[in-house]
């Protein structure tokens, strides 16, 4: 493994030499990385110029692996391939590219995705069945395989990068790289969980693709890993919405290589809950980053619903508010427009009793028992500063609670997504 | 009835005198109006200044009536009141105001809605049970009842207006008044159907309210009228979407006063189908106007799906495409971005087989059997002129077809809806 203080390196792509600066997280902190993972990036020129657009995550040892994928019926080739490969619950490497989604590319798209994995497997001397792949970018255009092949050669050429470089290489319209890590003590063993993600930032003609790659040096039994990942995604990445569009390419993968030295965790292990909680916190942090970085967004919006008849109703209500373009534009306008929140609750499909509903924004109560409290101006003022707007809704009907992250809707969102293809 | 050529008149509102110009339709044509309906408008100053914001539709004779209302669980007071009143299937008058939705106003809101009807009923000497009401505008603020009362006095003071004046008085952010009419020959009787509507144009902090008032001089038996209205709304107003938000105030009312002199139409009458078809055409025309006038819109988008497994799937698929912010921004960018259409089909919930799907834009085939045809630039060019963009999708799976109207998503939409309350 390279020193985490020495990530500056030179990548040669044809005649182009790109200097990649040391990419720490935005807050300047170093990211903890679990043992036994190596990273590299390459500037293959798939679509973007002068920046890395391919990344490799490589585990020195066979890792238990699990994945969660888009439920869109139109799935990109790498998603279809990974869904098949992940059945073995084992992985050694993930090859990722930005700039081209390899979606809606027919049989050729599948051949290309397979060729990506095969080429990487040969270069890494690992079984092709243990190489996963993910793509994000232009839809309907075949991968430029010559460039991709050169990129893979570079990825596997020995030069190493940091995990933040991976986060940066997979960005499309993301405004900042998304990387987080958690230290965990699971059943007496100190270990690390680290994740990189790219957001539902869409650049014309890209899709809203969410990619996330999670790794740990814990040993986790395959079934327990799968279960923990699915539960985590349900409570984190599946509770964010930027614009309601769902990608053909969404992928969340986790690898657990066991280099921390613990006995493999099962659902009954004493350390399992610590692992699961750390995984949840990690994914929660990454999912907040994705929502905050929604295209054109100026505020993260946290919609919290309680008092719903049941959990399903709480989720319906929270998503209805979080998806409402009227609520999202009101937040952008710093307008504590509770009428739009009330209307979104009303059409959510959840049981709602207007005269029982309470609504607060940033802790300022705007509606009590369905009626205005007259504090709108105060709440509007509170929205003018800070990175987040918290909307609390109490339906006062039952025990259901849920929380959804979203962002405001701005002219910039429209500009980004209305841009001509280049 | 006033001459349709003499709609210019003076309305006195307190000390304010407003001159209302003769308001013909945009195309300059006169609107046919059925016999026995009178219109008046008033500038009550509820929110807007220097323009009429109240309207009265009055039938000289008791009319059969039917209504369709928002399915939002949070319903404005006038909606709740009308839903009760419409059970009698009889109406004489509708009092409408813009500028205040009388929604989320608690028991006082209901008292105010009742007072509006009562005051109008007294002035018109008709039973209060036969007076309906509708409101659109600010939510959560009680109606300014003194102004409203003065407005009702004016509405019932004898001055008459044209049906286009009604269309204009009920506008909020609508950019043009929406009025249409059809001549119909039903079972040997010549008659007229006329409708006025306001769109899902939302001005902060208004709701997306769709109001539509339909009238005819045909006699239609109450059950048949109700059935025809519900079928019509299902096939027209329920197949438009501007931003997916659903108002607390949506209302479609129809009155049939019988002054054309026909024997009341039942579902078995020879003239019933002619009536129903004319009603459908009228509502279709008004619903297109509403979609075209979506806030900030530059294009009407017509999404037509065929070849779906069944009708429900066709509707799911069409709505999924019509609601996609990515598709809507692409149309605004004049980008024939079929990848976004394909993705929206994929997450629609409808059965979709990527390799069978055909997509055309403005008649130019972009996708055949799931693969790009390479004609994107040609299709993009076609989007640069004309008021409409037609997206045709053939899923090639079954007999299901449906058509949905929407509009593009622009920075102007965000600007309008992010504006501070004033």
Residue B337 has pLDDT above 70, yes or no: yes
CB contact under 8 A, A324 and B352: no
pLDDT: which is higher, B24 or B251? B251
CATH number of the domain where residue B84 is located: 3.60.70.12
Closest CA to A293 of A411, A416, A176, A135: A176
B106 neighbourhood in chain A, CB within 8 Å: 355, 370-371
Q: Token pair of A375, please?
A: 């504090």
**Residue A3 belongs to some domain of the structure:** no
Residues comprising chain B, all counted? 422
- The residue from B31, B136, B209, B406 that is catalytic is B209
Nearest CA in chain B to A333: B418
Point out the residue among B105, B246, B414 whose CB comes nearest to the CB of A332: B414
**Residue A1 belongs to some domain of the structure:** no
State the pLDDT at residue B389: 97
- The residue from A133, A209, A406, A410 that is catalytic is A209
Nearest CA in chain B to A328: B418
B139 neighbourhood in chain A, CB within 8 Å: 339-340, 342-343
Contact between A119 and A149 under an 8 Å Cβ cutoff? The reply is yes
Peptide bond into B163 cis (omega under 30): no
Instruction: State the CB neighbour count (10 A cutoff) for residue A285.
Output: 17
State the pLDDT at residue B362: 97
CB contact under 8 A, A347 and B371: no
Question: How far apart are alpha carbons B11 and B371 in whole angstroms?
Answer: 62
Catalytic status, residue B17: no
Closest CA to A35 of A158, A165, A191, A197: A191
Among residues A292, A324, A346, the one where a domain terminates is A292
Question: How far apart are alpha carbons A171 and A150 in whole angstroms?
Answer: 20
- Let me know whether B326 and B286 are in one domain: no
pTM of the model: 0.81
**Residue B4 belongs to some domain of the structure:** no
Point out the residue among A74, A323, A352 whose CB comes nearest to the CB of B73: A352
pLDDT, tens only, B260-294 = 999 999 999 999 999 999 999 999 999 999 988 88
Range of the structural domain that residue A20 is part of = 9-292
- Let me know whether A14 and A140 are in one domain: yes
CB contact under 8 A, B207 and A414: no
State the pLDDT at residue B24: 47
Average pLDDT over residues B196-215: 71
CA distances from B386 to A83, B336, B403 (A): 44, 15, 19
B335 neighbourhood in chain A, CB within 8 Å: 204-205, 418-421
- Let me know whether B318 and B285 are in one domain: no
State the pLDDT at residue B19: 30
State the pLDDT at residue A4: 33
Q: Token pair of A342, please?
A: 């009330």
Question: How far apart are alpha carbons B135 and B140 in whole angstroms?
Answer: 12
Contact between B174 and B205 under an 8 Å Cβ cutoff? The reply is no
Instruction: State the CB neighbour count (10 A cutoff) for residue B21.
Output: 9
- Let me know whether B232 and B381 are in one domain: no
Beta-carbon pairs below 8 A across chains A and B? 218
Probe site for chain A from B308, B343, B359 (most A CB atoms < 10 A): B343
Residue B181 has pLDDT above 80, yes or no: yes
Point out the residue among B244, B326, B380 whose CB comes nearest to the CB of A325: B244
B410 neighbourhood in chain A, CB within 8 Å: 414, 418
**Residue B287 belongs to some domain of the structure:** yes
Closest CA to B58 of B128, B149, B124: B124
**Residue A2 belongs to some domain of the structure:** no
Looking at the DSSP bridge assignments, the partners of residue B94 are B57, B132
pLDDT, tens only, A82-112 = 999 999 999 999 999 999 999 999 999 999 9
Question: How far apart are alpha carbons B407 and B410 in whole angstroms?
Answer: 9
Contact between A390 and A304 under an 8 Å Cβ cutoff? The reply is yes
CATH number of the domain where residue B306 is located: 3.10.20.340
CB contact under 8 A, A339 and B207: yes
**Residue A92 belongs to some domain of the structure:** yes
Point out the residue among A101, A140, A346 whose CB comes nearest to the CB of B73: A346
Nearest CA in chain B to A337: B205
Question: How far apart are alpha carbons A211 and A247 in whole angstroms?
Answer: 10
- Cα B195 versus chain centre, distance: 9
Is the complex ipTM higher than 0.90? no
B367 neighbourhood in chain A, CB within 8 Å: 104, 140
State the pLDDT at residue B137: 86
Whose structure tokens read 């990548």?
A: A11
State the pLDDT at residue B246: 66
Contact between B178 and B209 under an 8 Å Cβ cutoff? The reply is no
Question: How far apart are alpha carbons B176 and B242 in whole angstroms?
Answer: 16
Per DSSP, the residues of B152-183 read: HHHHTSS--B-HHHHHHHT-SS-SS-EEEEEE
**Count of the separate structural domains present in chain B:** 2
Q: Token pair of A335, please?
A: 């307008």
Q: Is B383 exposed, middle or buried (0-12, 13-18, 19+ CB in 10 A)?
A: buried
Among residues B266, B292, B318, the one where a domain terminates is B292
* Regions of chain A where pLDDT drops below 50: 1-25, 202-207, 420-422
Closest CA to A327 of A377, A389, A371: A389
- Let me know whether B277 and B335 are in one domain: no
Q: 3-class SS at B78?
A: helix
Closest CA to A238 of A204, A208, A210, A270: A210
- Let me know whether B304 and B325 are in one domain: yes
CB contact under 8 A, A418 and B140: no
Mean residue pLDDT of chain B comes to 88
- Let me know whether A160 and A31 are in one domain: yes
- The dihedral of CA B311, B316, B319, B324: what is its sign? negative
Closest CA to A347 of A366, A375, A324, A365: A324
CB contact under 8 A, B370 and A106: yes
**Residue B269 belongs to some domain of the structure:** yes
Residues B204-241 as b/e (b if ≥16 CB within 10 A, e otherwise) read bbbbbbbbbbbbbbbbbbbebbbbbbeebbeebbbbbb
Point out the residue among A72, A339, A343 whose CB comes nearest to the CB of B346: A72
- Let me know whether A395 and A248 are in one domain: no
Rounded (5°) CA angle A274-A278-A281? 140
- Let me know whether A276 and A308 are in one domain: no
Q: Which of A145-149, B156-160, B200-204, B400-404 has the lowest mean pLDDT?
A: B200-204
- Let me know whether A390 and A277 are in one domain: no
Whose structure tokens read 């799976």?
A: B397
Point out the residue among B339, B345, B418 whose CB comes nearest to the CB of A329: B418
Residue B379 has pLDDT above 90, yes or no: yes
Among residues B255, B274, B292, the one where a domain terminates is B292
State the pLDDT at residue B29: 63
Close Cβ partners of B196 (under 8 Å, ≥ 6 residues apart): B163, B164, B166, B167, B170, B177, B178, B179, B212, B213
B141 neighbourhood in chain A, CB within 8 Å: 372
State the pLDDT at residue A376: 93
**Can you count the helices (H) and strands (E) in chain B?**
11, 16
- Let me know whether A196 and A265 are in one domain: yes
- Let me know whether A165 and A199 are in one domain: yes
Question: How far apart are alpha carbons A260 and A267 in whole angstroms?
Answer: 18
DSSP code, position A171: -
In angstroms, what separates the C-alpha of B297 from chain A's closest C-alpha? 12
CB contact under 8 A, B73 and A208: no
A332 neighbourhood in chain B, CB within 8 Å: 414, 418
Q: Token pair of B16, please?
A: 């304010």
In angstroms, what separates the C-alpha of B101 from chain A's closest C-alpha? 10
Cα dihedral: B68, B71, B74, B80 (round 10): 30
Nearest CA in chain A to B337: A205
């Amino acid at each position: 493994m390279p020193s985490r203080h020495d990530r500056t390196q030179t990548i040669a792509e044809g005649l182009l030499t790109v200097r990649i600066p040391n990419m720490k997280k935005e807050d300047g902190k170093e990211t903890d990385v679990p043992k036994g993972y190596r990273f590299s990036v390459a500037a293959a020129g798939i679509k973007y110029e002068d920046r890395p657009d391919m990344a490799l995550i490589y585990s020195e040892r066979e890792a238990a692996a699990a994945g969660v994928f888009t439920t869109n019926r139109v799935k990109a080739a790498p998603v279809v391939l990974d869904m098949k490969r992940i059945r073995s619950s084992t992985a050694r490497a993930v090859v990722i590219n930005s700039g081209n989604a390899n979606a809606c590319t027919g049989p050729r798209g599948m051949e290309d995705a397979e060729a990506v994995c095969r080429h990487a497997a040969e270069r890494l001397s690992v079984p092709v069945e243990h190489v996963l792949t993910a793509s994000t970018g232009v839809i309907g255009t075949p991968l430029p395989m010559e460039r991709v092949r050169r990129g893979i050669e570079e990825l596997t050429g020995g030069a190493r990068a940091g995990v933040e470089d991976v986060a940066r290489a997979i960005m499309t319209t993301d405004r900042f790289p998304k990387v987080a890590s958690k230290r965990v003590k699971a059943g007496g063993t100190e270990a690390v969980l680290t994740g990189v993600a790219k957001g539902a930032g869409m650049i014309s003609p890209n899709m809203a693709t969410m990619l996330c790659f999670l790794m740990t040096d814990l040993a986790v039994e395959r079934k327990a890993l799968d279960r923990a990942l699915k539960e985590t995604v349900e409570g984190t990445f599946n509770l964010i919405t930027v614009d309601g569009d769902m990608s053909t390419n969404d992928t969340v993968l986790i690898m657990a290589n066991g280099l921390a030295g613990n006995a493999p965790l099962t659902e009954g292990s004493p350390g399992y809950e610590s692992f699961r909680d750390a995984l949840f916190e990690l994914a929660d942090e990454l999912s907040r980053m994705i929502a905050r970085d929604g295209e054109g967004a100026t505020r993260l919006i946290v919609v919290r619903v309680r008092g719903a008849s049941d959990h399903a109703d709480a989720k319906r209500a929270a998503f209805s508010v979080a998806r409402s373009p009227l609520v999202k534009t009101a937040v952008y306008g710093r307008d504590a427009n509770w009428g739009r929140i009330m209307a979104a609750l009303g059409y959510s499909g959840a049981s709602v009793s207007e005269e029982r509903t309470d609504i607060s924004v940033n802790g300022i109560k705007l509606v009590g028992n369905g009626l205005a409290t007259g504090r709108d101006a105060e709440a509007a003022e509170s929205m003018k500063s800070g990175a987040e707007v918290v909307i609390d809704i109490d339906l006062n009907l039952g025990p259901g609670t849920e929380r959804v992250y979203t962002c405001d809707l701005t002219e910039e969102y429209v500009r980004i997504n209305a841009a001509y293809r280049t």
